[in-house]
Structure 1
Amino acid sequence: MAKRETGLARTARLLDLVPYLTTHQGVAISELARTFNTSVKEITDDLNTLWMCGLPGYTPLELIDLEFESGFVSIRNAETLATPRALDRAEALSIYMGLDLLAAELSQEEGFLQKEISKLQDQLRTLLISTPQIQIEANLASEYRALILRAIRKRGWLEITYHSAANDEITTRKIAPYELSQVGSHEYLQAYCDSARAIRNFRADRIVKVLEIADQLWPELPIGEESTDFTYRIKVLKESRQALEVFPDLSRGSDYIESQGFSQAWVARSVLSLGGSVEAFDPADIRVAVVQAAKAALDNYR
């Protein structure tokens, strides 16, 4: 019976893989398995695990961007990962607790590792003690928060200047706010948007300005009577892991994806970001938007 690998051994290999791949771009998976004295299957599982690792924020911009579908491994954002970072309190505490778990798995014969772990924990302990115990970051200016809460109480209207991440633009909207809520690490304002004629969620830290609108009644139409949702189709030209992440409805082996969207600009930018591995098929407006954006990008290089 094959000896079962411990979690400590695999963690150590994962930690060694990143610097090794950074200095050995394009290494074959089979050679990588020989170097780390493991099987091709195990090293492939490790690479799939690294896909979900990265820097805090954990968006596609911070995760380790690996390419190994061809059988050769490379890290496409090695420079970003190499940038030195200062640990915040939560990160330092997570590492400190992780070191405790590692120390518990070490045997008596590995006393030198125990000493190294103690040294690291001493450094982390200094950071944790010197860091304020409570850190509060206000997403909204106090005067804007007061206007929003007053409008919620009085069933009033507001005019907000908002940065839309979906369209990458700053717009002015008339809204009837319903609720301020916390979801994860972000605060959201739920409100009826007059321009969309539907309920929308606005991230509080993207609200640039808030103005009070006097003497305007709440919306007479039922909430959600009109919808800006639309159906779009994407043609798959080349299967890729990135396409599966951008369009979760896509399944391996399929030639098309049909899904619901709320922003044609977002769909167009997503198609462009995949570098020709997918093509906008329907509706025609998205195809036109992709062509226009591609031409505008090319013009910047002329």
Structure 2
Amino acid sequence: MTRPTAKGGSRTSADRLARLLNLVPYLLARPGIEIAEAAGDLAVTERQLREDLELLWVCGLPGYGPGDLIDMAFDGDRVTITYDAGIDRPLRLTPDEALALVVALRMLAETPGVANREAVERALAKIENAAGDLVGAPVEVRLPADVGRVEALRGAVEGGRALRITYYTAARDETTERVIDPLRMLMVSGRAYVEAWCRRAEAVRLFRADRIDAVTELDESAVVPPQARPHDLSDGAFRPSPDLPLITLRVGRGERWITEYYPCEEVRAGDADHWLVSLRVTDLGWARRFVLGLGPDVTVVAPAELAEQVRDAASAALDAYAQPAPDARRAPAPTAADPALAAGSR
């Protein structure tokens, strides 16, 4: 669940991490600085700076006990770092850390849509050179999903060719055939996508590589209309908008994970064990399948149409289980004349 930030503050965890890393050396060089002055220098609000300082209280070295965490002293509206947990020391990677970093960079270098692969490869070469034999272990890096399909999509993007694809749309639970003009390849949340002008929808669309059942490169160049614009994916592939249906669910403790996994418009405390969660969905058909897969600890509050669809689908499933299979015929009950019964009665 994304926490709202104050005006002028960062909206991403990556931005906040960079700010925290800069904050400690900044405060070390200015002991006793006023919080208002520091906030002005760092271009954040005082509230955001105080939240960052509260987070620093629980940051430090492994062990996370007394003497391991960053410490600071407050004198009114002034702050002084009294223990920096070694953040001012040069970074030294352990063998495991170096190997993990090398593997991550190798993966990044093979990721479709990386804008500056040369910069990644230069960084990788420097770390491998510094680590020496520590990173010589035989590690093979493979991208998730179908590598052959991803390579075919990447080739079409680089070659500027149109594609015919067979695509499964999870929101509508249907498979369609489309002709697309690729714009770029990219990775979002660990999944490969091709962004393209869809001639069927007459709009720019994102297509997940693992949902493309078939792909054929056409003998024609990709023609992208001038009005086509790439999506802003800084907040993920799904961007809720006010025109999408809004659903509200009553969620128990066991299903609260959906507030971290899906972008929610509002999360309110209900009783002691339940939350009221509101989120936008692509359509009610997807929402019906989503709710049915969550289990008994989730109840639809709104809209009434979705609650009725879920109730009807659940009732139909129960009715289907109540009916015996067509070929499951019971054997006739034995009678007194039945030889087996007669033998068993002796």
Between structures 1 and 2, the one with greater helix share: 1
TM tier, shorter chain?
0.3 to 0.5
